[in-house]
Chains A and B, each alone.
Chain A
């Protein structure tokens, strides 16, 4: 009986340790995703490439590091369910292009900011990576939280404002006024 109890305890400790190491590993992985991406983005903006080249690099980085399908579904919300497969495809490619255009535009006026990676905390199936975007000359840093799932970014919160949630409200309002096809057309126009 005592042996059995010891065995149970051993099993419990072992499984607890496995759990801890799994959580620890995925937290580290999530932080690694953010660090690698930041290094790549920095390398891309520092080369002083032309707008077109930078956009090309950004689009590669975006595709490699962001789970565009998950983000696109999330921002479309309930309209995703009612969309036809054709609308979904069109929306995804237009959305991806528009986001890439938006992200590469943000790095146009890069002035020597750096990203400090802080603590990682689990959030359901995903990990939240806290970072600070340090401003040059001691300006107020900007707090950015990256939500990472399956090794890819699924949302970014800037000073508590989720890009995905904001985009969803934005799209939702546009769709209820103009319809999904109009939104797709508008995004296609913007993504160029």
Chain B
């Protein structure tokens, strides 16, 4: 994501946020199921800016990408982006006290980087090691033992969009601990990080296009609908620890045959 470009700005922001979270957390009354958003006015402002950037730059690029780039290539791009993120996932899994899952993630990374040709093919999945994704925002949630709904004040970050204090600090931490960032800095090939950020942005935008279009089209207040959807999504990710997006769902319950209705 573009987050790498914004790291410096974000550091100051994160420091402020930590202070704000420490000072403010828990002293506001919220309606059941509503997200705590004390900074709604500046958030809505940033949201409008992001939507404009998206409409004129990010979305047109993504639509072109989805239309012209063959599906298998798109999947390869997704795999490469995911593969580059495995070390950060592994570090977070260790931090969350899940050494065996971290070992699996490292195994995935080694298999896919070699046999999978720099991560283009997810060979490890065929071998039965499904992907996992953990970020430092989730690690903070595990450490804090707070309900996952409580991520501190809701935030709309420049370019990145929906976030909260917990996840914004998490983004910064992931950036700091990322072995690839450290490596590119050491080797003086920082432009690789920018290339990766651009590709990641288009990849994520293309995979969220359908869902975001649906929310925008069917909501009367897009900002609030997205705020709720983002928070719920993060809660689900934190709760179902380690479960990759979907692959681990038990389809066959005891005594129930697997049912597909269309052939």
A-side interface residues toward B, CB under 8 Å?
A: 31, 35, 38-39, 42, 77-78, 98, 102, 105-106, 114-120, 130, 132, 134, 137, 140-143, 158-162, 165-174, 177, 183, 186-187
Contacts and interface: CB of A to CB of B under 8 A. Distances in A.
A160 B230 CA distance: 10
Interface of B: 31-35, 71, 211, 214-215, 217-221, 223-225, 227-229, 232-233, 235-237, 239-240, 245-247, 249-253, 256, 258-262
Contacts of B228: 165-166, 168-170
A160 B225 contact: no
B88 to A, nearest CB: 20
Contacts of A116: 251, 258-260
B234 to A, nearest CB: 9
Contacts of B211: 158
Nearest to A133: B246
A171 B236 CA distance: 22
A106 B211 CA distance: 10
Contact of A174 (B221, B249, B252, B253): B221
A90 B259 CA distance: 40
Contact of B246 (A39, A117, A120, A141): A141
B260 A119 contact: no
A38 B261 contact: yes
Given A115-B262, A186-B220, 16 more contacts: A35-B261, A39-B261, A105-B217, A114-B262, A118-B249, A119-B250, A119-B256, A132-B249, A132-B251, A143-B249, A159-B233, A160-B235, A167-B219, A172-B224, A173-B223, A174-B224
Contacts of A165: 33, 228, 232
Centre residue among B31, B237, B249 by max chain A CB count within 10 A:
B249
5 contacts: A114-B260, A115-B261, A141-B246, A161-B236, A172-B31
A177 B221 contact: yes
A174 B220 contact: yes
Given A119-B250, A170-B221, A160 B34 contact: no
A109 B71 CA distance: 17
A94 to B, nearest CB: 11
Given A118-B249, A137-B71, A162 B261 contact: no
A167 B225 contact: yes
Contact of A160 (B71, B217, B233, B258): B233
Contact of A35 (B219, B246, B259): B259
B251 A170 contact: no
Contacts of A114: 260-262
Nearest to B236: A160
The 4 closest A-B pairs by CB, nearest first: A160-B236, A119-B253, A173-B224, A169-B228
B206 to A, nearest CB: 12
Nearest to B214: A106
A10 B75 CA distance: 59
B232 A161 contact: yes
Contacts of A77: 31-33
Contact of A170 (B219, B239, B246, B260): B219
